Amino acid sequence: MSHDPNCIFCKIVAGQIPSRKAYEDDDVLAFHDINPWAPVHLLIIPKRHIASMADVTQADGPLLGKMAALGPRLMKELGVTGGFRHVINTGPDGGQEVYHLHLHVMGGPRPWLKG
């Protein structure tokens, strides 16, 4: 499994940095974002280091599908019923800050929005 010793998410996968885990299996890890943009804000990451979506290959399709399908399941388990967002930032112009592929899944009521 590919690992970047300088990557914060690789360190989280390795257990060197603690996280509030929501899900883990052999391929992916989901954990709560430490700077949430919504009441429920998870990051779903592959355990294998992939720097960004720009580095994804066709062989990564099953992994990406697994990540995308995990989001709705976790939102339901965490009580999010009114909808949620999936976001993947890619590269500097796409707003990517950590260069380890990660899927943001954000949901829950947002009291700052007017109904």
Q: Is the pTM of this model over 0.95?
A: no
Segments forming the whole domain that contains residue 80: 8-107
If DSSP codes are grouped into helix, strand and coil, which group holds residue 63? helix
Look up residue 6 and give its two tokens: 């300088």
**How many folded domains does the chain comprise?**
1
Nearest of 98, 102, 100 to residue 86 by alpha carbon = 102
What is the set of active-site residues? Answer: 102
Residue 3 lies in a domain: no
The answer to whether 96 touches 89, Cβ cutoff 8 Å, is yes
- The CATH number covering residue 13 comes to 3.30.428.10
Tens digits of per-residue pLDDT, 51-107?
Answer: 999 999 999 999 999 999 999 999 999 999 999 999 999 999 999 999 999 999 999
Average pLDDT score over the chain: 94
Tell me: pLDDT of 1 over 80: no
| C-alpha span between 63 and 7 (Å, rounded) | 20
